[in-house]
Structure 1
């Protein structure tokens, strides 16, 4: 994979890192150690699934419209994605490279 420009994943990762740094400054009591990101991925995935259950009429609607629920689902999905990016970055995983090697090489087979 060419490294002459940043991938979109790298750009997103930089932005979510900036948001996380801002969060840490506002909430210094929150311990962000190695386990923080996998735990947050799990927490956010649960919230995403809760919204999905609402969206698919398998959970209480909480007096929300389908449009509001769909928006909430998207927001929770974004939270999951952001914490996956942070988790990978924290563990030294180059997601762009791994996707190329593990997934995208199958496109040529």
Structure 2
């Protein structure tokens, strides 16, 4: 389990893809076309609900498991994003470097 925590996004996406393949086979799910985007949107909705519950802004009162549920929904969103990137042939390690981390290099060079 601890080895998974140190994987890059591409490697993590590959591991999650293995789980997704098992899930799709088990439930006979066709993941073609816009499935990844639609599933990401579904998971984002579930994350929103978990966040509202955790922060006391839902009809459902937060319980002792609310933060754990929030963390699991965050993991679902990240997992689906990694799967979508993989399906689209996008290297998220490179994209994050270009979009976000390049600011650190600019700041260090200033």
TM-score above 0.5, yes or no: yes
Aligned match of 1:107: 104
Aligned match of 1:77: 74
Q: Distance in 1 between matches of 2:59 and 2:104?
A: 41
Q: Distance in 2 between matches of 1:60 and 1:70?
A: 16
> What is the TM-score of this pair, normalised by structure 1?
0.85
Name the Cα RMSD after superposition: 1.6
Q: Distance in 2 between matches of 1:60 and 1:24?
A: 33
- Where do 1:57-72 residues align within 5 Å? 57-61=56-60, 65=63, 67-72=64-69
Which of the two has greater helix per residue?
A: 2
> What is the TM-score of this pair, normalised by structure 2?
0.85
Unaligned ranges ≥5, structure 1: 1-6
1:15-53: CA deviation from partner (whole Å, max 9, x where unpaired): 11000110121112x221121100010000000000100
Q: Distance in 2 between matches of 1:95 and 1:8?
A: 9
